[in-house]
Structure 1
Amino acid sequence: MDTFALIVTIGVAFFFTYTNGFHDSANAIATSVSTRALTPRVALLMAAVMNLAGAFLGSGVAETVSEGLIETPHGSGGMAILFAALVGAIVWNLITWYFGLPSSSSHALFGGMVGAALAGGIAVYWTGVLEKIVLPMFLSPIVGMLLGYLVMLGIMWMFRRANPHKAKRGFRIAQTVSAAAMALGHGLQDAQKTMGVVVMALTIADVQEHDNIPVWVKISCAVMLSLGTYAGGWRIMRTLGRRIIELDPPQGFAAETTAASVMYAASYLFHAPISTTHVITSAIMGVGATKRLSAVRWGVAKNIVAGWFITMPAAAAVAAVCYGAVTLVS
């Protein structure tokens, strides 16, 4: 039974990674597609490949997820908690995908972990949750918005005398690079989060005693994220690419470059699991505000930000209910 529970939990973790891919594929390519720098299928293929590559570029985020957030109890109870956490995250991913809301798969996962842990009566390390999840959740969008605003101002000043048509054509080409950097950062962040969960499952099942990530776990998570990315998240892509602001190529380049820079800094300097959704969305808002404040559809932005705040508690509630159902059945 323990082996079966481990296999099922890892399978659900891989499915979460898949939903993460198609839910968050818009993060990497929505701006490039909306400015017509890339066609949708080419953009998705590029994002899938770069996601795959990004998954192998580090392990700091995975280590943050696998330790320091909740207690890691051994036995079937611990596996049930992890299973419920993943189901809570998956359900919230599917709900927000259906409504085209660019919420954070990462915070859905963290909310699920906390909700399942509380329902299962194990310790939640609130200091770790605050420092590693909550603070980055607030800081990364602020940094993304301010940096996006400043980067766009710099581009406008540098190209103030350039021919507008030639400049836009050049930025369309440049966007292929910035979109690839964004997808690489997404793989670096989001594939590692599931790696951390799988390592937790292996530790709970006493399959391994250390926090090293096996190669097969890295490959599996990277492939599932890439497959999900290639499946595409068209509903959310429309929200990011068109509904917040009508982007032109220089704005798209500025937003993608900003978001990718924030993700690399968070991954390598702080090992912080930040939300790629939060960063790219806030960068788009910051870039758009340089045009004029009214250019940003703040009503849409308000709904998106509201979704950010309810993601963790909503996923936590679903995970708690799921844990209760699992304990009843077992």
Structure 2
Amino acid sequence: MEPALIGLVAIIALALAFDFINGFHDTANAIATSVATKVLTPAQAIGMAAVMNVVGALTGTAVAKTVSKDIVSQDFATLELTAAALISAIIWNLFTWWRGLPSSSSHALIFSLVGAGVAAGGWGAIIPKGVNKTLTGLLTSPVLGFLVPILLMFLLSWLVLRLMRPRTVTRTFRWAQIASAAFMAFSHGGNDAQKTMGIMTFALSAYFGTQFDTVPLWVILSAATAMGLGTSVGGWRIIKTMGFKVVDLKPVDGFVAETSAALIIETASRLGIPVSTTHTISTSIMGVGTTKGFKKVKWQVAGKIVTAWILTVPTCIALGWAVHKLMLLISG
């Protein structure tokens, strides 16, 4: 087997490893609120999330095309660059998982790719269109994630909740939250798995020296499967942070947070915008919390989450740049 082909196989394996880690790192996105409200047991929640992640990952490739074609110019696409981006993103994912911080796997990968691209060809290697699209998602999805659940909660309160007894509200929304958790897992798979599909397609373009206009079916299936398997493992450190440490949740709160976040993520997926499912569901939980009273949200914990978001972009650009330079140095 030729060295370049060995390198491609290694990168595909590395990409699937990233997707697996993304699955267990971001399991909390789909199930933290369901576990916190005791609507589902941890085992039930993880099983459902794993299945719905796979289903969601099979529903489109718009985000994958953004990652593969619109971040780094094809003129600078190499297997070394792709490997550097993946290694950097994996390092940041494992670090934030270890610290129990809900950071963005999506932005870790994309901005690691930016950093590696800068190391390979300077800022001229970076395509502004794709980066701007990513930054748009980075800035708008948390804002919408905070505001939409507030509006939805007030709307529900006005139309339904004020007419129902507390016990009836809890009983009704226990069932509704199961559906919203499934929708959240579906949207997570639909957006996050596509980043791995994109980076794998980028690697294929680098190997064959031509840009792929479509994502190969085997890439879609393997990325979906890897994320589903990762989700089945579960990321308990982050589940505890998001489900139990930000705000005390009831089934109606979980339903509103999950539905709001899933709608935002699903819309972004159809538009080809890579967004952070972590950012979106975290701010949705905060938004729901503020409807209970500003003091109900544990803002110190929320502040640590926001700090991780802010650090992800510059840290991953620097990591991608450093890993790529180190790889070139080692290879001579």
TM-score (norm: length of structure 2) = 0.95
The one-character-per-residue Cα deviations of 1:184-230 (angstroms, maximum 9, x if unpaired) are 00010011111011111011100764221111111100000000001
The one-character-per-residue Cα deviations of 1:214-251 (angstroms, maximum 9, x if unpaired) are 11111100000000001100000011101110111100
Aligned to 2:49: 47
Between the two proteins, the alignment pairs up a number of residues equal to 327
CA contact (8 A) 1:55 1:188 kept: yes
278-287 or 119-128, larger mean C-alpha shift: 119-128
Aligned to 1:189: 191
Separation in 2 of the partners of 1:175 and 1:105?
A: 25
**Cα distance change on mapping 1:266 and 1:209 into 2, 3 Å:** closer
**Cα distance change on mapping 1:209 and 1:146 into 2, 3 Å:** closer
Aligned to 1:255: 257
Separation in 2 of the partners of 1:83 and 1:319?
A: 9
CA contact (8 A) 1:37 1:172 kept: yes
Matches within 5 A, 1:206-285: 206=208, 209-268=211-270, 270-285=271-286
Aligned to 2:81: 81
Partner SS state of residue 160, structure 1: helix
Aligned to 2:177: 175
State the shift of 1:319 in Å. Answer: 1.9
Gaps of 5+ in 2: none
Separation in 2 of the partners of 1:31 and 1:25?
A: 11
Amino acid at match of 2:268: A
Separation in 2 of the partners of 1:245 and 1:29?
A: 15
State the shift of 1:129 in Å. Answer: 4.6
CA contact (8 A) 1:60 1:271 kept: yes
CA contact (8 A) 1:81 1:120 kept: yes
Separation in 2 of the partners of 1:324 and 1:60?
A: 31
% identity of equivalent residues = 44
TM-score (norm: length of structure 1) = 0.96
State the shift of 1:161 in Å. Answer: 2.5
CA contact (8 A) 1:199 1:211 kept: no
Amino acid at match of 1:111: F
Amino acid at match of 1:309: I
CA contact (8 A) 1:194 1:221 kept: yes
Separation in 1 of the partners of 2:78 and 2:208?
A: 11
Separation in 2 of the partners of 1:109 and 1:215?
A: 22
Partner SS state of residue 143, structure 1: helix
CA contact (8 A) 2:71 2:126 kept: yes
Aligned to 1:316: 317
CA contact (8 A) 2:70 2:127 kept: no
CA contact (8 A) 2:67 2:130 kept: no
State the shift of 1:127 in Å. Answer: 2.3
Separation in 2 of the partners of 1:266 and 1:209?
A: 24
Gaps of 5+ in 1: none
The one-character-per-residue Cα deviations of 1:148-182 (angstroms, maximum 9, x if unpaired) are 11111122222112110121011111111000000
Aligned to 1:299: 300
CA contact (8 A) 1:9 1:83 kept: yes
Aligned to 2:61: 59
Root-mean-square deviation (Å): 1.4
CA contact (8 A) 1:91 1:315 kept: no
State the shift of 1:126 in Å. Answer: 5.3
Separation in 1 of the partners of 2:19 and 2:80?
A: 19
Residue 9 of structure 1: which of 8, 11, 17 is its match?
A: 11
**Cα distance change on mapping 1:105 and 1:78 into 2, 3 Å:** same
